[in-house]
Amino acid sequence: MEAKLKELKTYLVEVDDLHSAAALLYWDQSTYMPSGGAAARARQTATLSRLAHEKFTAPALGRLLDILQPYEEQLPYDSDDASLIRVTRREYERAIKVPPAFMQKLYSHASESYQVWTEARPANDFTMVKPYLEETLTMSRQLAEFFPGYEHIADPLIDFSDYGMKASDVRRIFSELRTRLVPIVDAITVQSPADDSCLHQTFSEEQQLKFGIETIKCLGYDFERGRQDKTHHPFMTKFSLGDVRITTRSKEDDLSDALFSTMHEAGHGMYEQGIRMEFDGTPLANGTSSGVHESQSRLWENVVGRSRRFWSCFYPKLQAEFTNQLGTVSLETFYRAINKVEKSLIRTDADEVTYNLHVLLRFDLELDLLEGTLTVADLPESWRERFQTDFGIVPPDDRDGVLQDVHWYSGPIGGAFQGYTLGNILGAQFFESALDSHPEILSEIETGEFGTLHGWLRENIYQHGSKFTASELVQRVTGSSLRIEPYISYLRQKYGELYELPPEESLMKEVD
Amino acid sequence: MEAKLKELKTYLVEVDDLHSAAALLYWDQSTYMPSGGAAARARQTATLSRLAHEKFTAPALGRLLDILQPYEEQLPYDSDDASLIRVTRREYERAIKVPPAFMQKLYSHASESYQVWTEARPANDFTMVKPYLEETLTMSRQLAEFFPGYEHIADPLIDFSDYGMKASDVRRIFSELRTRLVPIVDAITVQSPADDSCLHQTFSEEQQLKFGIETIKCLGYDFERGRQDKTHHPFMTKFSLGDVRITTRSKEDDLSDALFSTMHEAGHGMYEQGIRMEFDGTPLANGTSSGVHESQSRLWENVVGRSRRFWSCFYPKLQAEFTNQLGTVSLETFYRAINKVEKSLIRTDADEVTYNLHVLLRFDLELDLLEGTLTVADLPESWRERFQTDFGIVPPDDRDGVLQDVHWYSGPIGGAFQGYTLGNILGAQFFESALDSHPEILSEIETGEFGTLHGWLRENIYQHGSKFTASELVQRVTGSSLRIEPYISYLRQKYGELYELPPEESLMKEVD
């Protein structure tokens, strides 16, 4: 059995080598590739992904897993070996349902579509991407059809990123969230908005990136095992557990863009850098779900990175870097500026409170598209209408409307967005548990120390990779299943200091 | 047959996708990869290279080539289709002689060895690389043994990079070259050396790279289909004909280092950028030999880039970039500085006249190592002795001695160096032919115009990729086989203006 297990690992590492090479092809395409490389790159990424898929779905792997089943059954559920066999089998059984030729077509299409989007967005031209998006929708539905027996056509797609979740689960959670969130949003946005003009001066890209890098080094992102580069739409990617990279972008007239995007991606990166090296090259060496992944990016970006305690330590450093711009701006003004709540256009720039409304909008549009109640042709208009309903404003163009996110233009529709909001909810829940064990975390943040928090997260979440499912992990770490309460209570406490909020009780009564 | 030909192309493109991904893994390792990625990267490169090799050596390809043979025979020799089948068969028949497991071991070893070298060279520590180099030598011999029937054990290894050449051919050419070159070197190096202190001031890296990029844009390197990044040891690489990249390095106290390395690599890049797009993804989409490749890098770097005509146009631009350093330095002083001839330590920094002595030294040591008359343990000492004989100086350390070149530490020993000198010879021969057709090239260079020269090279050399062998190409383009005469005459004319040289006749007599 030892020999068979070794055989399994060797086999999986080869699959991972192909995936890692494909990931590098994508990273390069998104950071440094000259435009002339685009056509071949789409094909190359498709070929590598197909070969990985072919290898991962070969009957040889199925036989190996069958042979190993009795061994798995005699091991404790949470042993590394049992977990490797179990998680590999789960992914294998999912993967064999999708024909390799389909995967190749999907990847190739996604790569071309992404390239077109990088031109269409600055050109504010939805018609450029429309045929690509229509094909994406068709292929997303086809992808779901490989998993018959679903409740909702989005279920298999959600399952890819948030294993075990169904559209109905997400709808239920999002519905409760909306009920408790909207009164907060409404209460805040009728009050006079914070003055964030201090963030909208001119800040050189070089200084912004330098400050961002210094900051995430303090948080614990390891530059010996990662790096940061510039791109259109920031992302994290991994070529091995020793090489977990992040990307960022900056705006000269918006200090918050690069800064919080960098902390966000560093959160993702620290999660994967924290996975145990023994898992490298296997299916265990990934974050366990989109929601848990986002819980880490949003925890470091928001719960830590937009907290008053954090900036009581880091603001003097920021002032020292940008003396001309921030020398006379008080910490309180800056703190209110980075936590300004407003109904705005761009999801990735949105504050913590309204952010989820952006996600809920996208999630609902995804379900409508997949159900066929909305066509791609009508999507820009539907976006505008829904935006007006939820935010009271109409996007002036598609660039900052339906074209703003890379997701639909670089992968399937369905399952791409719910993780962000699940992450907000889980981030608060995890942070609450961390504080229960280590109340000193709060005072440490005030002194720029993150070791206790980082250590707790690594110990309880990061090291396990995808050994446990999201729901198993949440249960293990917090002693309960996903709960909205810690998130609402976090928002109420933080924003209750900054704005007049109606008491929760009265809200609940109104809802009843 | 059309269908079978299409099948062949599809097959070859998939092999190329794997090679391109492996090339990207290497490019990334050499430019941006954090140190933590090294261990997995060695394995990943090995896996991709092995998969490419397995696919290229599969019997399915052999059968396809057999089926296509009658079709090839009825086509003209120089038709694209016949050339594709012919060149693919030649490479297939070579590739099937080497077992895939061996290739994987070789690539994996090369990647690890390279990583160690990047630390050993700055540390001036040959003992770090010694065990790796010993293994490299063993594997180089094993590689040669897969091609029994050779005259000299280096022949199969030379054949990889300069198809059709044998150790004895190279020895004969190098022996004639040495006979005619050494008197020139000796005559020049007893005269007072040029003052190159103007090159050894402080030049910011940023400005150096900027000037280099502007310069190679003028030469014709296409940044829409390429880019330049920093590395330890500059190289050119290709991920498709639309993405041909170069790398460079700079020294703040040596203006010539980055500048000429950039022009050198741009020459390689322009060669591959000039290959017809129809060949993309096939074995035709490469330079035809190491010698012809180097002929282009050396032609652009030296014949053009170190000429008086070139700098009569570009020196004012360089002065404008570096006013403080070069404002008062005359063109003549600068021209003499960049063409200073001296017996020096570093091959890549060497002037055109002594450069070949560096190559001849390495070529002879390679043959000694492969023959077994020299051990790796004795190599540093042998290097020092031979260096003293040829250059009259002893390298003060291994860093600038046996550790200076990446080649032996990142690939097989044998066949790695002869191409540089063959390139010097061929570059002059090609340039002579270009001038025969277009004498106006000289005056165009004086006005910063390179279109006629670039066009002639593209038309006669670049576009063909590896459709013709090096010897076929030289014959087609220059009407004769490789000749040393144009190179010697180029050197005598250029350096005869700068130094007193003895007449060639008397030298020839002495040799007789």
What letter would DSSP give residue B304? I
Closest residue in B to A17 (Cα–Cα):
B44
Q: By the 8 A CB rule, do B470 and B160 touch? A: no
Q: Write out pLDDT tens, residues A154-190.
A: 999 999 999 999 999 999 999 999 999 999 999 999 9
Measured CA angle at B140 (ends B138, B142), to 5 deg:
70
Q: What is the pLDDT of residue B101?
A: 85
A35 touches chain B (CB under 8 A): yes
Q: What is the pLDDT of residue A512?
A: 41
């035709």: which residue's tokens? B284
Range 235-264 of B in CB contact (< 8 A) with A: 239-243, 245
Query: Could you state, in order of their start, the residue ranges of all structural domains in chain A?
Result: 2-146, 167-511
* A265: annotated active-site residue: yes
* Interface probe with A: pick from B24, B31, B237, most Cβ of A within 10 Å: B24
Q: Decide if B37 and A280 are in contact by the 8 Å CB cutoff.
A: no
Q: Decide if A40 and B222 are in contact by the 8 Å CB cutoff.
A: no
B51 touches chain A (CB under 8 A): yes
What are the contacts of A347-353 at 24+ separation with CB within 8 A? A347/A404, A347/A405, A348/A234, A348/A261, A348/A404, A348/A405, A349/A254, A349/A256, A349/A257, A352/A302, A352/A306, A352/A424, A352/A491, A353/A181, A353/A184, A353/A185, A353/A188, A353/A491, A353/A495
Please, which pLDDT band fits residue A510 given cuts at 50, 70 and 90? very low
What letter would DSSP give residue B483? -
**A192 pLDDT more than 90:** yes
Q: Count residue pairs from A and B with Cβ separation < 8 A.
A: 120
Contacts of B434 (CB under 8 A, 6+ apart): B441, B453, B456, B457, B460
**A280 pLDDT more than 80:** yes
Contacts of B489 (CB under 8 A, 6+ apart): B428
The share of chain A scoring above pLDDT 70, in percent, equals 98
Q: What is the pLDDT of residue B510?
A: 46
Looking at CA atoms only, how far is residue B277 from chain A in angstroms? 11
CATH fold, domain B167-511, is: Neurolysin; domain 3 (1.10.1370)
What CA–CA distance (Å, rounded) separates B23 from B10? 20
A39 touches chain B (CB under 8 A): yes
What letter would DSSP give residue A163? T
Other CB atoms within a 10 A radius of the CB of residue B175 amount to: 10
Q: Which residues of chain B have pLDDT under 50?
A: 507-512
Q: Write out pLDDT tens, residues A45-84.
A: 989 988 999 999 999 999 999 999 999 999 999 999 999 9
Q: Which residues of B touch A49 (CB under 8 A)?
A: none
Total residue length of chain B: 512
Contacts of A479 (CB under 8 A, 6+ apart): A433
Q: By the 8 A CB rule, do B467 and B285 touch? A: no
Average pLDDT over residues A197-208: 98
Contacts of B316 (CB under 8 A, 6+ apart): none
Q: What is the pLDDT of residue B512?
A: 42
Q: What is the pLDDT of residue A505?
A: 61
Average pLDDT over residues A146-151: 96
A37 touches chain B (CB under 8 A): yes
Q: Decide if B51 and A47 are in contact by the 8 Å CB cutoff.
A: no
* Interface probe with A: pick from B111, B231, B240, B279, most Cβ of A within 10 Å: B240
Average pLDDT value for chain A: 95
Q: What is the pLDDT of residue B233?
A: 86
Q: Write out pLDDT tens, residues A334-377.
A: 999 999 999 999 998 899 999 999 999 999 999 999 999 999 99
A9 touches chain B (CB under 8 A): no
Exposure string for B340-367, b = 16+ CB within 10 A, e = fewer: bbbbbbebbbbbbbbbbbbbbbbbbbbb
Burial class (CB in 10 A: 0-12, 13-18, 19+), A2: exposed
Average pLDDT over residues A22-26: 96
Average pLDDT over residues A373-396: 96
Other CB atoms within a 10 A radius of the CB of residue A83 amount to: 23
Closest residue in A to B15 (Cα–Cα):
A47
Q: Which residues of A touch B32 (CB under 8 A)?
A: 227, 229
What CA–CA distance (Å, rounded) separates B373 from A366? 71
